[in-house]
Amino acid sequence: MNCNCSGANCPVDATLEMIGGKYKALILWHLLDTTLRFGELRKLIPQATPKMLTQQLRELENSRLLTRTVYPVVPPKVEYALTDLGRSIRPLLFGMYDWGADYLKQEGKDVGCSMTVSRNAAM
């Protein structure tokens, strides 16, 4: 297979532009079936610094994959949830999980994360 698109409207490039990033796939994964606050995401992705997590969330919001809802209360309450476009990425995330799990098994390693989401949930 050859790709002669030079990056112009390349489907793989478009996908990577939207979800490629150090923590974007993890953020999307954790939001698949729920709405979370910033602090909850920080606990679920402890390796991300607050600055990096904020940056990745903003990029996902700009890509229209998630929404950020700010409630006018003190202290401030901000929630993140997937948009319909964000939820449409579910099959890709499951494919990434399955491929990674198979790879780890081939390398003689156990899957060491607690990423669980119902595959029967609505897509």
pLDDT in tens, the chain (123 residues): 566 666 577 888 888 889 998 899 999 999 999 999 999 999 999 999 999 999 999 999 999 999 999 999 998 899 999 999 999 999 999 999 899 989 999 999 988 776 665 555 544
Alpha-carbon dihedral 89, 95, 97, 98, rounded to 10 degrees: 160
Whether 21 contacts 47, CB under 8 Å: no
Q: Supply the pTM of this predicted model.
A: 0.84
